[in-house]
Amino acid sequence: MGKRVVVVGGDAAGMSAAAQAKRLKPDLDVVVFERGRHTSYSACGIPYWVAGDVDDVTQLVARTPEEHRRRGLDVRMGTEVVALDPERGEVVARDVGTGSESRVAYDELVLATGARPLRPPVPGIDAPGVHGVQTLDDGEAILDALRSREPRRAVVVGGGYIGVEMAEAMVRRGLEVTVVDMAAEPMSTLDPDMGALVHKAMEGLGIDVRTSTAVREVALDAEGRARAVVTDAGELPADIVVLGTGVRPETRLAQEAGLPLGRFGGVTVDLRMRVCGRENIWAAGDCVESLGLVSGARIHVALGTHANKQGRVIGTNLGGGYATFPGVVGTAVSKVCDLQIARTGLREFECDEVGFSWLTVVVDSTTAAGYHPEAQPITVKLIAERRTGRLLGAQIVGKEGAAKRIDACAVALWNRMTVEEMTALDLGYAPPFSPAWDPVLIAARKAADLVAEDTCR
């Protein structure tokens, strides 16, 4: 048997690293520790499972522990790594069921510990009836509550991706839904003017959206279960409370072992995904910080797309190859009922933080030719650097056919294109899919005109 690789975490990043390393170098002894009951699953699919789009949890599992084992991986479920000992090259693993501990040596260590959900530090936040949305077990707990307790009113704390997606799931389940968010508008990954469009659309769907509102307490009934969410603007009755307050890198093990962390609390790694300053420790997924290709600064973006790519990079390097992960531009899409939401690159305040001088355009158009019966409204916002016209960010809100247009903007960002260069992009056209001038190109043209006017002043 060859060198031993120990992987901490059995989801996207960890299993991608383990599988790729074993595929390239079959004599590797690859041991994976996973404290939960599932491997290689889609946490992003939980809201759609709760909503009823997914019939069974197995549909969210890309590869089971048994399938991984058949490919030669030593996958140890229900086992949590509780400590790292980099000096001795060992991890301390604890059986979740029995509590027994053992030390396991490694030649190479891969940290794929993911992220942890943020919970507001308020009384009652850990009470029964308050649900996070991080693992498949969380999804099962929410579905069990919906079936057994038949709630009528849901309060979703947080108006980000998970918050709006879970609000949709609850609406489709027939519940009265209130979303509470401290930000001025929901979807704070957008600029406030675009978030306002999301706010209006959510209210049009019957969702009560309370922005600029802080949660003070989760009030409990006589049995100790959540019965209401107390905010600084009053009490909101709730038969079920769902937390969509975002995540932070899960880096307790790394921090206790003295590994370097960045400003967002994520492990810092080089382009090969090796932990900075450590020759035989690697990290990937939601527990790391990535290079933001637009800002040039390290950022934390928790997405399965990046986790899978980063894990594969590690596996390639462990398997004797050479691979790098260059960074991210920050592309994400979501939806709430029939409203699609997308963004990439920087928001206005992030441009200010980095020191860009910028200007913006906002364009209202349609997803298809205006005369076509399937045409839907779409709003596109572009942020460009003054003088140079380099695209810095894009945001899109609209109906069917809107969100995936963000991909053209993401490619433009990746290639450091200017808005003037974007106007000549050869995008697909037919009346059912786009006006003759695609909304992205209209926005690029107007941005280019604005840059030219600004340069001539």
pLDDT tens-digit map of 34-46: 999 999 999 999 9
CA angle 117, 122, 127 (to 5 degrees): 75
Could you tell me if 223 and 183 lie in one domain?
Answer: yes
pLDDT at 279 over 90: yes
Split into its structural domains, the chain has a count of 3
pLDDT band at residue 2 under the 50/70/90 scheme: confident
pLDDT at 297: 95
In a domain, 30, yes or no: yes
Position 332 in a domain: no
112 in the same domain as 123: no
- pLDDT, tens digit, 9 for 90 and up, residues 7-37: 999 999 999 999 999 999 999 999 999 999 9
Q: Which of 260, 304, 303 is nearest to 12 (CA)?
A: 304
Domain co-membership, 177 together with 241: yes
Q: Which among 196, 221, 245 is the end of a domain?
A: 245
Instruction: Based on the fold, state whether residues 109 and 255 are members of the same structural domain.
Output: yes
Which of these ranges, 85-94, 114-123, 311-320, 356-365, has the smallest mean pLDDT? 114-123
Tell me the pLDDT band of 355, cut-offs 50, 70 and 90: very high
Q: What is the pLDDT of residue 457?
A: 73
Residues 187 and 274 placed together within one structural domain of the fold: no
In a domain, 326, yes or no: no
In a domain, 323, yes or no: no
37 burial type by CB count under 10 A (0-12 exposed, 13-18 middle, 19+ buried): middle
- pLDDT beyond 70 at 71: yes
Helix (H, G, I), strand (E, B) or coil at 55: coil
| Domain assignment present for 328 | no
CA-based nearest residue to 293, from 266, 330, 268: 330
Which CATH number characterizes residue 262's domain?
3.50.50.60
Nearest-angstrom CA–CA distance, 71 and 83: 28
In a domain, residue 61? The reply is: yes
CA distance 10 to 344: 28
Query: What's the pLDDT score for residue 228?
Result: 97
CATH number at residue 343: 3.30.390.30
Confidence of residue 78 (pLDDT cuts 50, 70, 90): very high
The answer to whether residues 368 and 437 belong to one domain is: yes
**Do 127 and 187 belong to one domain?**
yes
Above pLDDT 90, what percent of the chain?
98
What is the model's pLDDT at position 348?
98
pLDDT of the residue at 159: 95
**Residue 303 pLDDT more than 90?**
yes
What's this model's pTM, rounded to 2 decimal places? Answer: 0.94
Rounded Cα distance between 352 and 339, Å, is 29
Return the H-helix or E-strand segment holding 323. Answer: none
Rounded to 5 degrees, φ, ψ at 218 are -105, 110
Residue 32: φ, ψ to 5°? -115, 125
The answer as to whether 329 is a domain residue is no
Range 331-341 average pLDDT: 95
Pair 348, 432 in one domain: yes
Among 284, 318, 352, give the residue marking a domain's end.
318
Residue 2 phi/psi, 5-degree rounding, is -80, -155
Structural domain includes residue 324: no
Q: Which residues are catalytic?
A: 44
pLDDT of residue 1: 58
Domain's final residue, options 227, 245, 263: 245
Q: Are residues 239 and 125 in the same domain?
A: yes
Tell whether 417 and 429 lie within a shared domain: yes
The reply to whether 347 and 423 lie within a common domain is yes
Domain housing 60: 4-116+248-318
> Mean pLDDT, to the nearest integer, of 160-186?
96
> How far is residue 14's CA from residue 296's CA, in Å, rounded to a whole number?
26
Mean pLDDT of all residues in the chain? 96
- 252 and 192 fall within a common domain: no
Query: Could you identify the residue written with the tokens 């637009």?
Result: 294
